[in-house]
Structure 1
Amino acid sequence: MKKSLMALTLCALMSGSIIFAADQTPRDNFYWLGQINKASDIINTDEGLLTPAEGKNIAHGIQKVLDEGNKPGGPRPTNVVAFEPYLIQAAGPEVTKIHAGRSSQDMLTTVGIMEQREHLMAMAKELDNVQRSLIKLAEENKDTIIPNYTNGVAAQPNSLAHHLIAYANAYNRDMQRVREYYARLNRSPMGSMVLNGTGWPLDRDRMADYLGFDSIAYNTYDAGQIFPQEAPIETGGITNAIAIHTTSFIEEIMQQYAQPRPWILLKEGGGNTYVSSAMPQKRNPGILNSCRTDASTLLGMSVEAAFRSHNIPAGMADGRLSGRMDIVPQATKVLSEFDRILNNLVIHPDRSLEELNLDWTCSQEIADQLMKKYGIPFRVGHHFASDVVTYARANNITPADFSYEDAKTIYAKSVADVAKEDPSIPKTFPMTAEEWKNAKDPVAIVHNRAVKGGPQPSELNKMIEMAKKDLANNEAWVASTENQLSQSEKKLNNDFDQMLK
């Protein structure tokens, strides 16, 4: 690739407005306007709107403009009005006959959809990568027991795998939103003209097939005026969910960086972390910060898109879907960074268990077991467990070191008054020493969960398999969708090549 084309390429990549085919042809406005012109020439010739001679001459003119634009430094006009003079120069005024029944509005709306369509495919692949990495981590950490936090405070023990599969489920929902939106997006506006179609008998369905659409956007006013303004708003909803899921996970890791013995952190170096310029002990989690920043930028971009569409008549350019302003490439960048984070985590099961055993995340289990086995009302058991925690913290006693004898003493005092009123409540601590020990054991707590969707091994294995099926379904959808687009493009290019002969 010559230097000038490489500069064009890098610039376009940075703007997020371009995707490359195998031959490195930029897939920008110029490319897609060329594809629309090819399809218009073929269809209009077949329909008798152009003579075979006119169709062939126009085809050669289109190809000449495309060849010149693909040369290093060649002209690549991005809108219809700027593109047409090159066509006229290449094939004469009769080339404008292919513009019958077309407008910049339906053409550029179509271009914007086709560009975003490819952006969505790139983002869908990154969503699949993230789900795959989360599932892999979950399989590797079925036996890793960690503290889960609510309100920023250690709340209950959990399986790390259970935690990770929850996020895999979240990103799968993001993928479902992509697929649902794609079905609304992938409808061809071509032939809608400006507002209410055209008097030319254009074959909208065949045009849609050539350009890889599933169908046409039927109502011509909706196709060119309303949907293009609505689409960026829906895009923002999808990418906002992705940003929130990503930053939530990042913040959970960042909490650990505040601890002297974190149980999850990044591999050092390699662009993941960097050393503080002033404090030698610090290993700042650089990639966490940059991914979070990019996610915040993404949220800002979605708000910008909403304001561009706010308080304007339908069809105005302000909020119209366009590849140049599309926020999907930014979401793809966030997902790519997050996948890198997932693949560079260092997890210390011994330290997570240590953290659990230093605090009283087992206290709810104590109340649950007293009710389940001995019929003690939950609030009574909760009060006893709270008294245990208060005593333990005042005397710096960890759960593992809290004795059975102390538990019996505290229980007798805690239930004394309520037991007088309710004879069914045992006045002496009913748990055995072994039951008391197990109620404080984070591993036993996790393994003894009994509800569907819990972290116990039987349910955890089931949910991992469910996540794998979701991922396989998503991967199949991406492959099928890309194949459909590829086949449509191949047919268009092959049929156009026949026009050149």
Structure 2
Amino acid sequence: MKKPVLALTLCALISTGSVFAAQPPRDNFYWLGQINKASDVINTDEGLLTPEEGHAFAKGIDKVLRDGNLPGAARPHNVITFEPYLIKAAGPDVTKIHAGRSSQDMLTTVGIMEQREHLLTMAKKLNQVQEDFIRLAEENKDTLIPNYTNGVAAQPNSLAHYFIAYANAYGRDMQRVREYYKRLNRSPMGSTVLNGTGWPLDRDRMAEYLGFDGLAYNTYDAGQIFPQEAPIETGGITNCIAIHTTSFIEEIMQQYAQPRPWIILKEGGGNTYVSSAMPQKRNPGLLNSCRTDASTLLGMSVEAMFRSHNIPAGMADGRLSGARDIMPQASKVLTSMDKILNNLVIDPARSLEELNLDWTCSQEIADELMKNHGIPFRMGHHFASEIVTYARAHDITPRDFTYEDAKAIYAKVCASDPHLPRDFPMTEEEWEHAKDPASIVRNRKVKGGPQPAELDKMIQMAKDDLADNKAWTEETEKKLASAEQKLNQDFDKLLRDCMK
């Protein structure tokens, strides 16, 4: 005998590893169907339904689901609109499967099951963005760039060091996802409304069939408090994703104000577009649209917070809902971020030129004076500041500011400061090293700095974190697919028995 269409579809999807791309849509109708199947199987096994009733109800559930999967068919998304279809297919006795259930625990369960799939989709996109940054770091170990604070060039750095910092940031977003999943993936089924039910329901088996890791144990919390809290925590996770994304975008956008930027997007391909009025302009459309989507994501999280504000626990206003879940919007942002990272054009010669045009080495001058010659940092800072003031007034770059120039400025500074040595203490070699961006980056000493040994260490740490995150994502998906397969197999057996 042929298996039901739904079971065949799921088995095929599991075998190909794409269970979360299933057709028909994995919407409220789909998940209410799964809950009804689990209720029928469990209650029949536990003796709350007779075998004859369980078999007959399985046939009715299967018909409703198959009919709902037909093109253009209705797919009721609420318990009270789904049930009439069951009654039509199997008679009023089918409502016996509703013993000990409520719209509250059922729709809370549906919302969680929908969100966990959205969460895993987002997790895979987070992993991809983290992988992009690691790859870019490995490709740019020797690329030297100016880092900026307050929008002003501040320090020379390795571009790889900068990229790994963002890999770490999105890795923390993934940690938040994993921590939240532990709280999310607890089954409310059987909590009914407020205080449970007099029916001896097997909550544990229901949780296993629906892919949960355990129970949302307190029945009041399960249906009233957590569903209102969850969208707020979701917003916290996605807010961090949005902020990391827009911060990176803004730093790229700064380069577009320069006539010769050192990092931009490849032209065309949906990355840039030509101005309708000014032929020279190549507007970074992809950056703009991703930033807009991230801003929308932030707004959606605030909306979720206000829906839950000033209402009693359990009201529908703020309840976790797959239809209002903001994680798909976060996935959209991450998809665009992935495209940005795969379409960057980096010009190492231009970034080094920018470093050598400005005085991002000035702190190193003060550091070297203190480290090698015992001059207090503030005094060295004052000397370096005087150099920068003089150099900018006379349009002298660091590379062209000679050792003799430095000694002349030092003589003026120490004339008014009796605590300074009378002669400029730095050697000419020290002076040249203090101005060299490559030397500055190479000679960092602290853990986590951009020096080659630490950079290689941090790249490996990021790779290890990514591998762990990928393994968790894959394992979690497989566990959910296995639970769903088991439910469908057991329901299919009950259905076959009633078709004999």
Matched, 1:480 2:479: no
* Offset, 1:434: 1.3
The aligned counterpart of 2:308 is 309
User: How far apart, CA to CA, are the structure 1 residues paired with 2:402 and 2:90?
Assistant: 94
User: How far apart, CA to CA, are the structure 2 residues paired with 1:54 and 1:63?
Assistant: 14
User: How far apart, CA to CA, are the structure 1 residues paired with 2:373 and 2:185?
Assistant: 61
Deviation by residue 1:101-140 (Cα, 9 ceiling, x = unmatched): 0000000000000000000000000000000000000000
User: How far apart, CA to CA, are the structure 2 residues paired with 1:235 and 1:26?
Assistant: 23
CA contact 1:380–1:415 (8 Å) conserved in 2: no
Letter of the 2:279 partner, please give it. P
The aligned counterpart of 2:135 is 136
Q: In angstroms, what is the RMSD of aligned CA positions?
A: 0.9
Letter of the 1:335 partner, please give it. L
Letter of the 1:438 partner, please give it. H
1:15-94 mapped onto 2 (5 Å cutoff): 21=20, 23-94=22-93
* Offset, 1:343: 0.3
CA contact 2:79–2:103 (8 Å) conserved in 1: yes
User: How far apart, CA to CA, are the structure 2 residues paired with 1:427 and 1:454?
Assistant: 34
The aligned counterpart of 1:411 is 410
Partner secondary structure for residue 216 of structure 1: coil
The aligned counterpart of 2:100 is 101
The aligned counterpart of 1:258 is 257
Matched, 1:426 2:421: yes
The aligned counterpart of 1:440 is 435
The aligned counterpart of 1:7 is none
Note the residue ranges of structure 2 that are not aligned, 5 or more in a row.
Answer: 1-17
The aligned counterpart of 2:3 is none
* Offset, 1:20: 7.2
The aligned counterpart of 2:13 is none
Letter of the 1:244 partner, please give it. I
CA contact 1:109–1:321 (8 Å) conserved in 2: yes
* Offset, 1:416: 2.1
The aligned counterpart of 2:457 is 462
1:316-355 mapped onto 2 (5 Å cutoff): 316-355=315-354
User: How far apart, CA to CA, are the structure 1 residues paired with 2:105 and 2:479?
Assistant: 22
**Aligned sequence identity (%):** 79
The aligned counterpart of 1:12 is none
* Offset, 1:23: 4.8
Letter of the 2:205 partner, please give it. R
User: How far apart, CA to CA, are the structure 1 residues paired with 2:233 and 2:415?
Assistant: 60
Partner secondary structure for residue 416 of structure 2: helix
Partner secondary structure for residue 156 of structure 1: strand
User: How far apart, CA to CA, are the structure 2 residues paired with 1:308 and 1:69?
Assistant: 31
Partner secondary structure for residue 264 of structure 2: strand
User: How far apart, CA to CA, are the structure 2 residues paired with 1:400 and 1:85?
Assistant: 81
Partner secondary structure for residue 147 of structure 1: strand
* Offset, 1:412: 1.2
Note the residue ranges of structure 1 that are not aligned, 5 or more in a row.
Answer: 1-18
The aligned counterpart of 2:446 is 451
User: How far apart, CA to CA, are the structure 2 residues paired with 1:391 and 1:322?
Assistant: 63
* Offset, 1:417: 2.6
The aligned counterpart of 2:395 is 396
User: How far apart, CA to CA, are the structure 2 residues paired with 1:310 and 1:157?
Assistant: 46
Letter of the 1:382 partner, please give it. H
In structure 2, relative to structure 1, the CA distance for the partners of 1:401 and 1:22 (3 Å cut) is closer
Matched, 1:118 2:113: no
In structure 2, relative to structure 1, the CA distance for the partners of 1:23 and 1:378 (3 Å cut) is closer
Deviation by residue 1:61-84 (Cα, 9 ceiling, x = unmatched): 000000000010112100000000
Letter of the 2:52 partner, please give it. A
User: How far apart, CA to CA, are the structure 1 residues paired with 2:370 and 2:259?
Assistant: 37
Letter of the 2:426 partner, please give it. M
Letter of the 1:432 partner, please give it. T
TM-score normalised per structure 2: 0.95
Matched, 1:180 2:175: no
* Offset, 1:427: 1.0
CA contact 1:20–1:27 (8 Å) conserved in 2: no
CA contact 1:20–1:26 (8 Å) conserved in 2: no
The aligned counterpart of 1:9 is none
Deviation by residue 1:346-374 (Cα, 9 ceiling, x = unmatched): 00000000000000000000000010000
The aligned counterpart of 1:13 is none
The aligned counterpart of 1:165 is 164
Letter of the 1:331 partner, please give it. A
CA contact 1:193–1:220 (8 Å) conserved in 2: yes
User: How far apart, CA to CA, are the structure 1 residues paired with 2:405 and 2:75?
Assistant: 81
Deviation by residue 1:378-425 (Cα, 9 ceiling, x = unmatched): 11110110010010001000000001111001101112232x2x3xx3
Number of residue pairs matched?
A: 479
User: How far apart, CA to CA, are the structure 1 residues paired with 2:237 and 2:76?
Assistant: 31
User: How far apart, CA to CA, are the structure 1 residues paired with 2:342 and 2:414?
Assistant: 50
Aligned residue among 482, 488, 495 for 1:493: 488
The aligned counterpart of 1:211 is 210
User: How far apart, CA to CA, are the structure 1 residues paired with 2:373 and 2:80?
Assistant: 82
CA contact 1:194–1:224 (8 Å) conserved in 2: yes
CA contact 2:20–2:117 (8 Å) conserved in 1: no
The aligned counterpart of 2:4 is none
TM-score normalised per structure 1: 0.95
CA contact 2:134–2:462 (8 Å) conserved in 1: yes
Partner secondary structure for residue 366 of structure 1: helix
Partner secondary structure for residue 155 of structure 1: strand
